[in-house]
Amino acid sequence: MVENMAMIETIQFFVTCLVDTLYPQVGEAAVRVLRRVGARVEFPAGQTCCGQPAFNAGMRPQARQMAEHTIRVLESAPGVVVLPSGSCAAMIRHGYPEIFAGDSRWSLRAETLAKRTYELTEFLVDILGVTDVQARFAGQLAYHASCHLSRDLGVILQPGLLLRNVKEADIVELPHSDECCGFGGLFSFEYPEISHAMLDRKIHNIRSSSASVVVACDAGCITHINGGLHRRGLSPCVRHIAEVLEKT
Amino acid sequence: MRQAYCRSAGEDIRCDAGNLKSGGYWIRIQIPAPFNLMPDYFDTQIRAALANTGLQEALDANAERRIEARLQANAALPNHQVLRRRAHSVRASTLAKLDEYLEQFITKAQLNGLIVHRAADAAQATQIVIEIARENNAHLVAKSKSMISEEIGLNHALEAVGLRVVETDLGEYIIQLRGERPAHILTPAVHLSRVDVGQTFHESLGLPFSDDVPTLVAAARQALRMVFLEAEIGITGVNFGVAESGTLCLVTNEGNGRMVTTLPPVHIALMGIERLVPTLDNLALLLTLLPRAATGQKITVYTNLINSPRRPGDPDGPRQRHLILVDNGREALRQSPLAQALLCIRCGACLNACPVFREIGGHAYVGLRGEISTYPGPIGAIISPGLFGQSEFGHLARASSLCGACKEACPVDIDLPKLLLRVRAGGIKIDPGRAKQTLPGLVAIGIRAFTWFSIDVRRFRLAQRMLGFFSRILAPRSLWMHLPVFTGWGYSKDFPRPDLRSFRRRWMSRQSAISVIRESRDSLDQLSETSGDESSDYQSLATRFAIELMALGGEFTLCSRSDLAQYILKILHNHNIGSLLSWETDQLPNSLLEAIQTAGIQVSHDLDPSIRAGLTGTLAAVADTGTLVMTGGPGRALFSSLLPEVHIAILRTSDIRESLPQVLGMREIQSAASVVLISGPSRTADIEMTLTIGVHGPRELYVLCLDE
């Protein structure tokens, strides 16, 4: 199947609070995909939330508490850290160094964690060099580029490379696929009308595509778009990329 | 304030009814003050903008045209990303040594014959202009578009001392006639249609109404031509000052900038102290990027490089050129965590790219007391609080999904999302006390609670269980929760019901299952001699069955009888399936089908190949091989586990046997007309030895195991 795995023996799987609570099957799917490509997956039991909600709210002391907790939990575990979420990976990679800037002791710990943290598709493609995970998924798949994944982490092509190698999948275009769905974490609670208008645009684009399934790499977008589709009486068709890649 | 808000909030806000299931529009309930998540005026402006269809069309057109133009123009630059990073470092290094460059710039400009003034704030800047006007006995001032003059409220100040001020940029002219503020830093009248402009010209200039654009432009041209000729003073901004040469660079498309800097006898240039570049080389770099980002042009129609006033023998040009360098909060901003915002070259690309700006437009960006922010959009949400106060404008930074489209569009690579987050964290001084000023109370409470639960994994697990429990009270029958409107989310979205078994619970139970099986294998010999505890036997059998089934590609879920229907509904829901080919009621757990039907699923017992999911019970299962055993017979159609794509089988832990011989020895097997043993989803390796799932039988197999 996939060779050259000696380098990456152990993965610390950071499931993220949304996937943990709302989409445990996505976490399981990601673990299956990682195991299929030969990785040994571990789950640091103390993990909770990376702190992104507090960080985005502007509540730095609270964000820092959660970041410290996460760093403590992850830094003692060996190997790389992999998350099935672009925004949480971005939080650890760019948010943590920002939170601890000016605190030399913690910022070293934050930077060290940041450097070994990867989003799932980024890890598969950039670190393992795997673009074919032997998946099979019949249907018209379109890809929604989550904002933090594409613009903060710069992970733009990786999900598409993986999807292109899914057997029986027909990759179709989603117009304006990189436009924000209007989630933005707290933004969607604080400014529901604007968020609603942005989501309408996203849903319009989804409906104008021929996709049967829209694939995303962030539970935030998935929750938001599916929640909007469901309220409108439409089928919640957004799935996490791990759910597609796990199917054989 | 509160009254104004309440009036607006009490009205019915119609939403896009086009594709809504439930009746077309919501009634916006009036939110009690402690739960009001938004500053009043901002909230009101947002709703007004969203409800204004003309504005929405204008903003859509603006975004589509500008984004496309920018992308095309940048694509034509082979090294665009390199250039913008270089531009970033040029701007950053200039700001790092701003004092030195300012000194050099001022010296050169004075040598060139410019009269240089420095203004610490808006009042000083306007006063300097007023004094120059007085000295020159001026009555009429012709202005070219300048954001810094908007920032310092120049027009108002000049009019207050009796001067007539005329904006000569067409867009500025239109909004000046309408008594409005610019809606965009580049295209001030972006919010208006040609009909609006025609109406404005008709009412303000007494012209016959026309919505023909060339006619309107010609009318403005004619009206403004006399202003250029008669004005004693021309006022402009400055796009860039060049330190090494003292040059003022102005870019315009209409040519009004040229008029204003050429025809009136006195020219006053207003410039923010940060708009410097060290060299003409640097200027060339920025001129490559600015128009592409702003309008998608390779270069603007007119690029003016101004060094000095009219020299002896020159046929034209003002006899006096004044340069007013304005601080107005910039030096403080430069020393703050928001300093990077000073790299901005005011191209407006972040406004065009921003999905929030596209929905609400520039006039919605208002301060705490309702005053329109000079600078709207993503950059405005940073420099307005940065220059004019966190408490007045800090809330603007909250109206962002942090999508990063602004950063991507920025020609000088400003990390706008990072700066927006810094504004949220307190702005000029990142301290928690300041953040509170713009943080809605409910959010603060929620985040504090969430933090408390998140810094201890035991509390976190507890919270997950509580969520799972309470969500079932809120939504006992649905996988989606309809949250109340005041939560924000409930305004137009449903929320998925949390899973009762979180990932961590599943992981832990699987880990413990694996350890159980290891232990049980070790102790199997002992157990086989002493008859042992039956329940632990069941558990280890279930574990072994589960592991084998999953290895075959099946899904195994341990659940209680009361959760059974919900699990089935979830599977159906995930596959978008609305009907079920099922065994008959008496062959399945009590009232299960009833619950499924109540949730809106059609249940059929007849052969129907179009139904995509099948539900069956099982007679038994084999732990060693992960095999399900079913007998055909009345009420137990075998096609239910064969025709559909998805097969859901209900199994009781007590029906799991260790090995195949035990199963085949069962009385039911021997008496049944037909028996099927199912081990995982349908598959083949017939073609090129390639494993393929879902050949003729189901592609997916879910076993719901009742632990009883």
Domain stops at, among A125, A157, A174: A125
Q: Are strands B656-657 and B646-652 parallel, antiparallel or unpaired?
A: unpaired
Q: Return the SS3 of B192.
A: coil
What domain range is A112 assigned to?
10-125
CATH number at residue A198: 3.40.50
Question: What pLDDT band is residue B19 in, cutting at 50, 70 and 90?
Answer: very low
> Are residues A158 and A214 both part of a single domain?
yes
What residue ranges do the domains of chain B occupy? 2-35, 40-58+337-432, 77-167+230-328, 456-496, 503-706
- The answer, yes or no, to whether residue A33 has pLDDT greater than 90, is yes
Supply the DSSP string of B465-509, one letter for each residue.
HHHHHHHHHH-SS-SEE---GGGSGGGT--EEPPPSS-HHHHHHH
- The answer to whether residues A149 and A222 belong to one domain is yes
CB-CB contact of A190 with A53 (8 Å): no
- β-pairing verdict for B555-559 and B700-706: parallel
Q: Check for a shared fold between B77-167+230-328 and B503-706.
A: yes
CA closest to B415 among chain A residues? A152
B430–A191 C-beta distance less than 8 A: no
The predicted structure's pLDDT at residue A2: 44
Within an 8 Å CB–CB cutoff, is residue B16 touching chain A? yes
- Do A116 and A149 fall within a single domain? no
User: Mapping DSSP to helix (H, G, I), strand (E, B) and coil, where does residue B706 land?
Assistant: strand
Q: Whole-angstrom Cα distance, residue A142 to residue B324?
A: 54
- How far is Cα B605 from Cα B601, in angstroms, rounded to an integer? 13
A220 domain-assigned:
yes
- Could you tell me which residue, A92 or B558, shows the higher pLDDT? A92
Whether A168 and A108 map to the same domain: the answer is no
The total domain count for chain A is 2
Check whether residue A103 and residue A200 sit in a common domain: no
Within a domain: residue A5? Answer: no
CA of A31: which chain B residue's CA is closest? B507
pLDDT tens for A185-214 read: 999 999 999 999 999 999 999 999 999 999
Residue A166 is assigned to a structural domain of this protein: yes
In a domain, A2, yes or no: no
- Tell me if B400 sits within 8 A of A187, measured CB to CB: yes
Q: Which of A73, A100, A125 is the last residue of a domain?
A: A125
For A181, the 3-state DSSP assignment is coil
Is it true that domain B503-706 has CATH number 3.30.420.40?
no
Q: Is there a contact between A58 and B424 if contact means CB atoms under 8 Å apart?
A: yes
Is pLDDT above 90 for A71?
Answer: yes
Does one domain contain both A138 and A89? no
Q: Which CATH superfamily is domain B77-167+230-328 in?
A: NagB/RpiA/CoA transferase-like (3.40.50.10420)
Decide if pLDDT at B7 tops 60.
no
Question: What is the Cα–Cα distance from B664 to B432, expressed in whole angstroms?
Answer: 70
* Cα distance from N-terminal residue to C-terminal residue, chain A: 13
User: Residue B158 to residues A137, A224, B130, B263, B522: CA-CA distances in angstroms?
Assistant: 69, 50, 7, 20, 93
Confidence band, pLDDT 50/70/90 cuts, at residue B431:
low
Do the Cβ atoms of A61 and B457 come within 8 Å? no
Q: Touching check for A140 and chain B: CB below 8 Å?
A: no
**Least reliable range by pLDDT among A141-150, B161-170, B699-708:** B699-708
Question: What DSSP string describes B562-607?
Answer: GGHHHHHHHHHHHTT--EEEE--GGGSSTTHHHHHHHTT-EEE-S-
State the CATH architecture for B40-58+337-432: Orthogonal Bundle (1.10)
Closest CA to B311 of B132, B113, B117: B113
Question: Are A115 and A180 part of one and the same domain?
Answer: no
Instruction: Give the Cα separation of A210 and A175 in Å (integer).
Output: 10
Domain final position from A125, A146, A173: A125
Predicted pLDDT of residue B18: 36
Question: H or E element: which one contains B510?
Answer: helix B503-522
Same domain, A147 and A119: no
Q: Are residues A209 and A236 in the same domain?
A: yes
Closest Cβ–Cβ partner in A198, A235, A247 for B576: A235
Q: Are both A99 and A160 inside the same structural domain?
A: no
Mean pLDDT computed over B144-154: 96
Say if A185 is an interface residue toward chain B (CB within 8 Å): yes
Interface of A with B in 186-225 (CB under 8 A): 186-201, 203, 207, 223-224
Contacts of B110 (CB under 8 A, 6+ apart): B116, B246
The answer to whether residues A209 and A225 belong to one domain is yes
Same domain, A148 and A235: yes
pTM of the model: 0.77
